[in-house]
Chains A and B, each alone.
Chain A
Amino acid sequence: MSKKSSPTAEGRSDPGTGKPDLAGAPANAALSADQKVGLYRLMVRIRRFEERSLRAYQAKKIGGFLHLYIGQEAVAVGCCSLMGKDDHVITAYRDHGHAIAVGMELNPLMAELYGKITGCSKGKGGSMHFFDPSRNYWGGHGIVGGQVPLGVGLAYGLKYKGLKGACMTFMGDGAVNQGAVHEAYNLAALWDLPVIFVIENNGYSMGTSQARSSAGELARRAEGYGMAWGVCDGHDICEVRAFMAPFLEKARSECKPAVVEIRTYRYRGHSVADPDNTYRAKAEIEEYRKTKDPIQVFQNLLLGEKVLDEATVEKIDSEARAEADVAADFAEASPFPTAADLQKDVYWESDNPSQRTSGGRLFFN
């Protein structure tokens, strides 16, 4: 399998032999010790938040689906840590990690899971529909591949307005076979839109492995559209950052789209409702956890660099656990929306009655 690491449309970039100097890559060399600890802390906060949410789910505090990101943290944190002020993010339903990675607070996220009015979407979206446009975070979308044309639209909007930003449009490996994704690829390449399509390949589209669902190499499909593409491993945040930075820069400065595949792994089932005992071996999960856990890998690196010590690791972890507990307490104590809230946030006009220009009824019974 060819492994490409720099954004060229011709598909000739040097696959390299052996491990490149990730720490020396410009995106990583520029990081201060504090920034490295900040990235580490983000990954830990994502994991502890999700573990806490899983306990809340098992205690029946959370309804519907809960798609956990545990094991994939280096992807969202690595990518989102490269965002500038005009860069944007949109993703699918496994969206907790990205929300925390762009800087959303844990309280409104946990409250959203609990279906409370203090949630980031006022309890109207749930786990799959976290949004924070003030942080350039556009969801959180439930239909596989359905967010991908929206990501192209965000990129189109950036270019239309003359802003030097890019939109990272995340999807899972199961999304690549949806028609809307291919339509989005074509438009992005046809019109040179600043979008990076990020395939987070965790190996399984629900319970169907990549080998059983997708022909060929996932990112290589970009070649059919004349787009740059590349593949990297997603368990090492340094690799993710070093790999993504040039693609992002090319999108921002030259409006060049790309398709990238970041290989990662999820430890939990597709959702909490997936007993995860039919389509993969427990040993496979254990092997990944032992050798490639993204938090452990980064922790080892930072311990080696003396950026972290054992006491700080312990402190970060206990603070993250406490923060997740506080978020759960906040969610628990918050009120649910009421029936009167059902018909708010449906129309801009009905939420802004003094500025309404239309007549007639908007709601029916």
Chain B
Amino acid sequence: MPVLQYREAIRQALAEELTRDPNVVVLGEEVAQFHGAYKVTEGLLEKFGPKRIVDTPISEAGFVGMGIGASMLGVRPVIELMFWSFYSVAFDQILNNAANVRYMSGGQINCPIVIRGPANGGTNVGATHSHTTENVLAHHPGVKVVVPSTPYDAKGLLKSAIRDNDPVFFLENTMLYGDKGEVPADDYLVPLGKADVKREGTDLTIVSYGRAAIQSLAAANLLQQEHNISVEVVDLRSIRPLDIDTVLASVRKTHRLLVVEEQKPFCGVGAQIAYMVQSEAFDELDGPIARLCTIDAPAIYSPPVEAEQLPNPQRILRAVIEALD
């Protein structure tokens, strides 16, 4: 099977969907001539031309809103945000217009738009560029939120997102763009709302997603080798819709749960998971639900300290041992 980088897997998904459906159009800052700020869209302009691959000015409220309007008319825009952190200047378009237009029109209007880009810390770019927005986005009924952790998932989920008739917000990770993994060359889909057990185990369940899931897998390997602790890692892949059933099945097996997320703790995705698990599987739990988040402060610039602010294998390892104590 071909081995691709995460960014190449996303590019392949875009190219396949651009080929399949003439209504798909890619728009964003530097996506065409510059080949993408993170080279995700490299080569697409040359292959598909300037009608399908469109450089926008730095004007997020303008071009995101424009994409939403075009989607109401049946165009399927895939909008790149250079960073999801920039959603704040397009917030009204994303969460008033895209999220609400179907509802406010009594179901008369669809908004089949995909907005994609990285949402992560860890690159020493400070608080303004390091927002993880999945909890804020998923708070709004009407939207779907996807956070892929591997090249395989990224390609299959993005293809599903582009074919979806609801607005889908696709959160990538600059720290993962260079990661490699096996990606089938054929046309496969990963459905939204299906979690993936990335590692089987018996002593404790880690529920995670995005880069934190990759960090959790590294921690699980260390725990096995150094402490003989068997950790199961459930990668949510999709925040909304949410596959809580896979989480509950794992909790029924291990009876211990640690949620690991690159989110601030307050009202994060982990809070929702913990609520649902205690509500639906309280008797299965042998201890309190544990949670490991980004340390609760704006993202620090200082490189060695930022690495400690985020979930990392050592912090996760300690949290597992504490949870089992």
Cα distance, A179 to B193, chains bound together (Å): 36
DSSP majority for the B interface? Answer: mixed
Q: Tell me if A150 and B193 are in contact (CB < 8 A).
A: no
- How far apart are A242's CB and chain B's nearest CB, in angstroms? 28
Which stretch, A74-82, A123-131, A292-300, touches the partner chain B? A123-131
Q: Tell me if A160 and B25 are in contact (CB < 8 A).
A: yes
The yes or no answer to A192 lying at the interface (CB within 8 A) is no
Which stretch, A1-9, A15-23, A136-144, A203-211, touches the partner chain B? A136-144
Pick from A139, A142, A146, A183: contact of B59, CB below 8 A: A183
Contacts of B66 in A (CB 8 A): 149-150, 152-153, 156, 184, 187
- How far apart are A73's CB and chain B's nearest CB, in angstroms? 24
Cα distance, A148 to B165, chains bound together (Å): 23
The yes or no answer to A119 lying at the interface (CB within 8 A) is yes
Cα distance, A88 to B73, chains bound together (Å): 10
- How far apart are B222's CB and chain A's nearest CB, in angstroms? 30
Q: Tell me if B104 and A358 are in contact (CB < 8 A).
A: no
Known: A157-B70, A358-B144. A143 touches B92 (CB 8 A): yes
Q: Tell me if A149 and B240 are in contact (CB < 8 A).
A: no
Please tell me the number of chain A residues within 8 Å of chain B, measured between CB atoms: 59
In the complex, the chain B residue whose C-beta lies closest to that of A108 is: B106
Known: A152-B69, A153-B65, A160-B70. A139 touches B104 (CB 8 A): yes
Enumerate A229-263 residues with CB–CB distance to B below 8 Å: none
Q: Tell me if A360 and B64 are in contact (CB < 8 A).
A: no
Report B290-310 CB contacts with A as 1/0, cut-off 8 Å.
Answer: 000000000000000000000
The yes or no answer to B63 lying at the interface (CB within 8 A) is yes
Known: A150-B65, A180-B92, A361-B241. A345 touches B107 (CB 8 A): yes
In the complex, the chain B residue whose C-beta lies closest to that of A193 is: B66
Cα distance, A363 to B101, chains bound together (Å): 18
The yes or no answer to A279 lying at the interface (CB within 8 A) is no
Q: Tell me if A124 and B106 are in contact (CB < 8 A).
A: yes
Cα distance, A133 to B74, chains bound together (Å): 12
Q: Tell me if B69 and A154 are in contact (CB < 8 A).
A: yes
Cα distance, A361 to B64, chains bound together (Å): 27
Contacts of A138 in B (CB 8 A): 69, 72, 109
The yes or no answer to A274 lying at the interface (CB within 8 A) is no
Q: Tell me if B65 and A360 are in contact (CB < 8 A).
A: no
In the complex, the chain A residue whose C-beta lies closest to that of B54 is: A191
Which stretch, A280-288, A314-322, A323-331, A347-355, touches the partner chain B? A347-355
Pick from A129, A153, A179, A357: contact of B71, CB below 8 A: A153
Known: A149-B61, A157-B74, A187-B62. A121 touches B105 (CB 8 A): yes
Enumerate B55-90 residues with CB–CB distance to A below 8 Å: 56-57, 59, 61-75
Contacts of B34 in A (CB 8 A): none
Pick from A134, A155, A156, A358: contact of B238, CB below 8 A: A358
- How far apart are A152's CB and chain B's nearest CB, in angstroms? 5
Pick from B62, B104, B242: contact of A360, CB below 8 A: B242
The yes or no answer to A97 lying at the interface (CB within 8 A) is no
The yes or no answer to B188 lying at the interface (CB within 8 A) is no
Cα distance, A16 to B57, chains bound together (Å): 38
Q: Tell me if A358 and B160 are in contact (CB < 8 A).
A: yes
Cα distance, A362 to B75, chains bound together (Å): 24
Q: Tell me if A156 and B75 are in contact (CB < 8 A).
A: yes
- How far apart are B138's CB and chain A's nearest CB, in angstroms? 9
Cα distance, A314 to B106, chains bound together (Å): 37
Q: Tell me if A150 and B75 are in contact (CB < 8 A).
A: no
Interface size of B as a range:
35 or more
Contacts of B62 in A (CB 8 A): 149, 152, 180, 183-184, 186-187
Q: Tell me if A154 and B70 are in contact (CB < 8 A).
A: yes
The yes or no answer to A166 lying at the interface (CB within 8 A) is no
The yes or no answer to B93 lying at the interface (CB within 8 A) is yes
Cα distance, A235 to B93, chains bound together (Å): 33
Q: Tell me if A362 and B108 are in contact (CB < 8 A).
A: no
Known: A133-B72, A358-B191. A152 touches B65 (CB 8 A): yes
In the complex, the chain B residue whose C-beta lies closest to that of A152 is: B66
- Between A149, A180, A343, A363, the greatest number of chain B beta carbons within 10 A of the residue's beta carbon is seen for A149
The yes or no answer to A190 lying at the interface (CB within 8 A) is yes
In the complex, the chain B residue whose C-beta lies closest to that of A352 is: B165
Q: Tell me if B92 and A349 are in contact (CB < 8 A).
A: no
Contacts of B110 in A (CB 8 A): 348
Cα distance, A22 to B67, chains bound together (Å): 38
- Between B191, B192, B241, the greatest number of chain A beta carbons within 10 A of the residue's beta carbon is seen for B241
Q: Tell me if B103 and A358 are in contact (CB < 8 A).
A: no
Cα distance, A346 to B141, chains bound together (Å): 7
Q: Tell me if B72 and A150 are in contact (CB < 8 A).
A: yes
Cα distance, A88 to B72, chains bound together (Å): 12
Known: A133-B109, A153-B67. A158 touches B166 (CB 8 A): no
Known: A146-B96, A149-B62. A359 touches B104 (CB 8 A): no
Cα distance, A344 to B272, chains bound together (Å): 23
- How far apart are B87's CB and chain A's nearest CB, in angstroms? 14
Q: Tell me if A345 and B103 are in contact (CB < 8 A).
A: yes
Q: List 12 A-B contacts (CB under 8 A).
A: A140-B104, A149-B66, A149-B93, A154-B69, A160-B51, A183-B62, A183-B63, A184-B62, A345-B103, A349-B164, A359-B241, A360-B192
Given contacts A121-B105, A183-B61, A360-B194, 16 further A-B contacts (CB under 8 A): A124-B106, A134-B108, A142-B96, A149-B64, A150-B97, A153-B67, A153-B71, A157-B69, A160-B51, A161-B73, A180-B93, A187-B56, A187-B57, A343-B141, A359-B241, A361-B193
Which A positions have Cβ atoms within 8 angstroms of B? 88, 90, 119-125, 129, 131-134, 138-143, 146-158, 160-161, 179-180, 183-184, 186-187, 190, 343-349, 351-352, 357-364
Q: Which 5 pairs across A and B sit closest by C-beta, in order of nearness?
A: A153-B69, A149-B65, A183-B62, A360-B193, A157-B73
Which B positions have Cβ atoms within 8 angstroms of A? 25, 51, 56-57, 59, 61-75, 92-93, 96-97, 101-110, 141-142, 144, 160, 163-166, 189, 191-195, 238, 240-245, 272, 276
